[in-house]
């Protein structure tokens, strides 16, 4: 048996919609699936508008530009997240300020945000790590008090909820990825959503090279734009996935419940949580080896690998990334929780298409080698 960490789960109308693009010749960056994805995905999130683009990373870049953030501004973000949360800030010369993680949700610790504020702070980026939403009440309070914008990096959190409000509707602007291992996919792709249509119009402007919307002035450029356009073919794939999104989320939640049931007797494992106010979509099922674990993280992963079970280590914290040093971007090196998550954390196979047998097998292997 070989169990990958994650595979796309394409069991709806994906093929039919993609063929429709080919048969009608609408294969580039205009077409009905683009419009449909923008309106239906933003509606799913409970906001008014959306702009699709080429990836989650470019979605974050567009959001940052639409908000008017620029070189020298500072943004607060978690250190325990994927590099893609940070790269667009570096592209723009924006200075990152890193907040350590909570030891149970692995999200940014809201109580440590304020100590990183400066007169140059313009925004807070929340990242719903592995599908668990950030506790937004303290974030909203701080943002309001200090007049900061909130960007959601919801790349791992399609369908997640904070107090019954969907990820994507929790800040000023939100970014999702449709990469192949995310909860829904377009192969490669992403979207920016917001209730502020003006911001979304700016995203559409920047994603299309900064062409002037006035046809008479089309080739006269006032700003640095990008080619971040998604194709109708990718949007077709994503439209079909969106029809199945509730099912895809339910499958991930079922996976998590089965893992928790089968692993909760192992006291040396820390399992993911779901706070009472949260709907966790368990993009990845993360576990952390506690101090008294019978084997090291490397040995644990090796044993699983020998039995055909794929795993991934947790994120290497952003404050440790060598590229920051190379660019002489100052960082804060006191993020002990994120450091220990990197040292001891991994995730197990988590795809929506995982079978009950595969989960049982994985848990049996863990029991065999850990007890």
Ligand X SMILES: *Cc1c(COP(=O)(O)O)cnc(C)c1O
**Which two tokens mark 355?**
């079978």
By beta-carbon proximity to ligand X, the closer residue of 284 and 304 is: 284
Q: Which of 29, 42, 49, 85 binds ligand X (CB under 6 A)?
A: 85
Are β-strands 345-348 and 285-289 bridged in parallel, bridged antiparallel, or unpaired?
antiparallel
Q: Does 157 bind ligand X (CB under 6 A)?
A: no
CA–CA separation, 150 and 126 (whole Å): 7
By beta-carbon proximity to ligand X, the closer residue of 162 and 179 is: 179
Q: Does 82 bind ligand X (CB under 6 A)?
A: yes
Q: Does 112 bind ligand X (CB under 6 A)?
A: no
Q: Does 349 bind ligand X (CB under 6 A)?
A: no
Comparing C-alpha atoms, which of 340, 300, 296 is closest to residue 317?
Answer: 340
Q: Which helix (H) or strand (E) holds 363?
A: helix 356-370
CA–CA separation, 69 and 103 (whole Å): 31
End-to-end Cα spacing for the chain:
22
Total chain residues near ligand X (CB under 6 A): 14
By beta-carbon proximity to ligand X, the closer residue of 153 and 274 is: 153
Maximum CA extent, the chain: 72
Comparing C-alpha atoms, which of 56, 242, 66, 76 is closest to residue 156?
Answer: 56
**Which two tokens mark 323?**
């590229």
Contacting ligand X within 180-239 (CB under 6 A):
190
Stretch that binds ligand X, among 152-160, 240-248, 290-298, 300-308 (CB under 6 A): 152-160
By beta-carbon proximity to ligand X, the closer residue of 53 and 263 is: 53
By beta-carbon proximity to ligand X, the closer residue of 1 and 323 is: 323
Stretch that binds ligand X, among 76-84, 110-118, 207-215, 268-276 (CB under 6 A): 76-84
Are β-strands 161-162 and 165-166 bridged in parallel, bridged antiparallel, or unpaired?
antiparallel
Minimum distance of ligand X from residue 188's CB (angstroms): 6
Stretch that binds ligand X, among 41-49, 50-58, 165-173, 205-213 (CB under 6 A): 50-58
By beta-carbon proximity to ligand X, the closer residue of 155 and 304 is: 155
CA 347 to chain CA centroid, nearest Å: 15
Q: Which of 9, 33, 41, 179 binds ligand X (CB under 6 A)?
A: 179
Are β-strands 121-127 and 74-78 bridged in parallel, bridged antiparallel, or unpaired?
parallel
Q: Does 155 bind ligand X (CB under 6 A)?
A: yes
By beta-carbon proximity to ligand X, the closer residue of 55 and 258 is: 55
Q: Does 335 bind ligand X (CB under 6 A)?
A: no
**Which two tokens mark 90?**
């570096």
Minimum distance of ligand X from residue 295's CB (angstroms): 28
Stretch that binds ligand X, among 2-10, 81-89, 144-152, 252-260 (CB under 6 A): 81-89
Owner of token pair 């933003």: 42
> What SS3 class is residue 285?
strand
Minimum distance of ligand X from residue 51's CB (angstroms): 15
Stretch that binds ligand X, among 11-19, 80-88, 258-266, 289-297 (CB under 6 A): 80-88
* Backbone Cα Rg of the chain: 21
Query: b/e per residue, 268-291, with b = 16+ CB within 10 A?
Result: ebbebebeeebbbbbbbbbbbbee
> 37 near 189, Cβ under 8 Å?
no
Minimum distance of ligand X from residue 170's CB (angstroms): 15
Summarize as ranges the residues that interact with ligand X (CB under 6 A).
Answer: 55-57, 81-82, 84-85, 127, 153, 155-156, 177, 179, 190
């Amino acid at each position: 048996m070989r169990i990958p960490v994650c595979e796309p789960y394409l069991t709806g109308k994906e093929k039919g919609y993609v063929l429709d693009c080919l048969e009608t010749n609408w294969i580039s960056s205009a077409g009905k699936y683009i419009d449909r994805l923008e309106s239906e995905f933003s509606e799913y999130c409970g906001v008014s508008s959306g702009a699709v683009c080429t990836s989650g990373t470019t979605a974050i870049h567009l959001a940052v530009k639409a908000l008017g953030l620029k070189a020298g501004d500072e943004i607060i973000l978690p250190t325990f997240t994927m590099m893609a949360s940070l790269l667009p800030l570096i592209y723009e010369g924006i200075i990152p300020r890193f907040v350590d993680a909570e030891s149970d949700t692995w999200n940014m610790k809201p109580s440590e945000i304020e100590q990183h504020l400066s007169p140059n702070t313009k925004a807070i980026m929340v990242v719903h790590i592995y599908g668990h939403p950030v506790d937004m009440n303290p974030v909203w309070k701080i943002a309001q008090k200090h007049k900061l914008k909130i960007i959601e990096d919801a790349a791992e959190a399609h369908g997640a909820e904070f107090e019954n409000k969907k990820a994507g509707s929790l800040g000023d602007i939100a970014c999702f990825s449709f990469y192949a291992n995310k909860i829904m996919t377009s192969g490669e792709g992403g979207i920016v959503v917001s209730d502020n249509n003006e911001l979304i119009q700016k995203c559409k402007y920047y994603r299309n090279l900064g062409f002037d919307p006035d046809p008479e002035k089309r080739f006269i450029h006032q700003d640095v734009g990008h080619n971040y356009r998604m194709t109708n073919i990718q949007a077709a794939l994503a439209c079909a996935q969106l029809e199945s999104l509730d099912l895809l989320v339910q499958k991930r939640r079922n996976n998590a419940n089965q893992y928790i049931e089968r692993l909760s007797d192992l006291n040396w494992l820390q399992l993911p949580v779901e706070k009472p106010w949260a709907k966790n979509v368990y993009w990845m099922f993360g576990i952390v080896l506690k101090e008294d674990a019978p084997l090291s993280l490397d040995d644990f992963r090796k044993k699983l690998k020998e039995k055909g079970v794929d795993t991934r280590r947790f994120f290497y914290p952003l404050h440790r990334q060598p590229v920051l040093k190379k660019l002489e971007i100052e960082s804060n090196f006191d993020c002990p929780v994120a450091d220990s998550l990197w040292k001891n954390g991994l995730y197990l196979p988590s795809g929506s298409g995982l079978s009950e047998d595969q989960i049982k097998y994985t848990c049996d292997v863990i029991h065999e080698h850990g007890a």
